[in-house]
């Protein structure tokens, strides 16, 4: 089968750029209006994109004075959007560190049922100590332990999702037989971190299981992704880095007994469009100029690298001492390594880096043809299966992408013209997984 591109959309607040909320045609409180997200979903669905991914950090961000650094609960929001959309996938983020397995498994599967098989789960482990304190935790486990917990958590969740066989519901109203109890299974899990009896009280997913998405790019995060993820939302500024990442993930997936081609790698991409490259760059510069004075991009970049007191020279490359991960730095390691690798490879000045980098992801400012060229080039190398589009401003930047770039990709034979299925798993070209309890059931039936 011919490969085709896949696209998620990162849906956050008024857009990914910190100054997005200041756009004239956006109400300041757009980030808490359901109509704002409905409009975004309508545009994505019009473009036949695969799914909407909703980030979540369950803590109030300190930048609240300068931007609406707040989010609605992504599971509740996606549930609301399920009734106003028909095909687009819905992927809330939820942390394994701060949620109980049974409750989260039930909520995600409920979303999947409500949406007719369009749910995914973006699995994260949470690195923010302030978030932990909101849940009564004094400290978070170290990164390696968080991922060990997450592995047990996901394995348990999959078995909870499988606890009803596909044909467990009989539904014979005349005879009064609703379900076959022999086809509904307890999980009886007693592990290192969790004890859960089960079964879940929601029947199995219309798509087999909700799609597992993963967003970590540290060493433990990559190992976790190779073992469990069906789609990976990651960060890459360098094509060489993206190629190495894809090779590593697919090789590790094979070693874990998985099909390496059953993992969709979708790094973040921030497209900024204009009729000319100069016009596109001017649009990005205008957003940068609307930042609050306290959000100086140069100072923010230094702080993001873990050196808040560093004074960077705009017209010089990043100093070599800043290219090593500082001891004790808290935050996503994947973003750090992606940026510092790109800075070292290119030797670009800080000024140039700030035109291609925003909040951990690559900015491509140019004409629709130039953005389509970038997407096609990375896709054809095999480094990616598509991208997670990160609109700088919502919904305007997404509408630009859908109306100006997607038609070009369709004309090149790289992207679908319409949906051909109804589930997120079908959109992504992923097979429906077998039920983990099925072998035991088949053996029992043979006796």
Q: Which residues are annotated as a binding site for FMN?
A: 56, 93, 147, 218
Report the candidate in 191, 192, 125, 206 with the shortest Cα–Cα distance to residue 161.
Answer: 206
H or E element that contains 94 = strand 89-95
Is the torsion defined by CA of 129, 131, 133, 136 positive or negative? Answer: negative
H or E element that contains 407 = helix 406-411
Burial of 413 per CB tally in 10 Å (0-12, 13-18, 19+): exposed
> What residue numbers does the annotated binding site cover?
56, 93, 147, 218
Contact 231, 375 (CB under 8 A): no
Contact 194, 152 (CB under 8 A): yes
Contact 401, 273 (CB under 8 A): yes
Report the candidate in 379, 120, 385 with the shortest Cα–Cα distance to residue 264.
Answer: 385
The Cβ of residue 332 has, within 10 Å, a number of other Cβ atoms equal to 19
Angle between helices 239-255 and 368-380 (to 10 degrees): 40
């Amino acid at each position: 089968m011919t490969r085709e591109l896949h696209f998620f959309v990162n849906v956050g607040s008024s857009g990914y750029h910190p100054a997005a909320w200041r756009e004239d045609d956006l109400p300041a409180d757009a980030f808490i209006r359901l109509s704002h997200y409905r409009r975004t979903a309508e545009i994505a669905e019009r473009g036949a994109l695969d799914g909407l991914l909703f980030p979540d950090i369950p803590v109030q961000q300190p930048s609240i004075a300068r931007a609406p650094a707040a989010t609605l609960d992504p599971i509740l929001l996606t549930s609301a959007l399920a009734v106003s959309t028909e095909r687009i996938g819905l992927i809330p983020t939820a942390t394994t560190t701060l949620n109980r397995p049974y409750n989260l498994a039930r909520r995600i599967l409920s979303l999947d049922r409500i949406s007719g098989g369009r749910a995914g789960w973006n699995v994260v482990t949470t690195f923010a100590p302030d978030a932990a304190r909101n849940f009564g935790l004094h400290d978070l486990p170290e990164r390696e332990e968080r991922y060990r917990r997450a592995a047990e958590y996901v394995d348990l969740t999959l078995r909870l999702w499988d606890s009803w066989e596909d044909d467990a519901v009989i539904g014979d109203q005349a005879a009064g037989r609703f379900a076959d109890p022999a086809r509904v299974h307890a999980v009886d899990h007693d592990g290192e971190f969790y004890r859960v009896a089960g079964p879940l009280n929601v029947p199995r997913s219309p798509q087999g299981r909700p799609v597992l998405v993963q967003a970590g790019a540290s060493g433990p995060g990559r190992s976790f992704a190779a073992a469990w993820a069906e789609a990976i939302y990651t960060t890459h500024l360098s094509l060489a880095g993206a190629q190495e990442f894809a090779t590593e993930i697919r090789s590790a997936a094979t070693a874990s007994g998985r099909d390496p081609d059953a993992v969709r790698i979708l790094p973040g991409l921030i497209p900024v469009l204009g009729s000319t490259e100069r016009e596109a760059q001017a649009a990005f510069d205008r957003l940068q100029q609307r930042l609050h004075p306290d959000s100086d991009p140069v100072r923010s970049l230094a702080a993001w690298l873990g050196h808040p007191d560093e004074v960077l020279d705009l017209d010089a490359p990043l100093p070599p001492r800043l290219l090593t991960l500082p001891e004790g730095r808290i935050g996503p390691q994947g973003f750090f390594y992606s940026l510092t690798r790109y800075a070292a490879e290119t030797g670009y000045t800080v000024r140039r880096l700030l035109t291609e980098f925003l909040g951990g992801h690559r900015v491509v400012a140019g004409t629709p043809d130039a953005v389509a060229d970038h997407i096609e080039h990375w896709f054809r190398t095999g480094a990616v299966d598509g991208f997670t589009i990160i609109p700088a401003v919502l919904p305007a930047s997404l509408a630009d992408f859908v109306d100006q770039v997607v038609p070009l990709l369709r004309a090149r034979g790289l992207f679908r013209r319409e949906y051909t299925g109804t589930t997120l798993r079908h959109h992504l070209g992923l097979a429906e997984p077998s039920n983990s309890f099925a072998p035991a059931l088949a053996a029992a039936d043979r006796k």
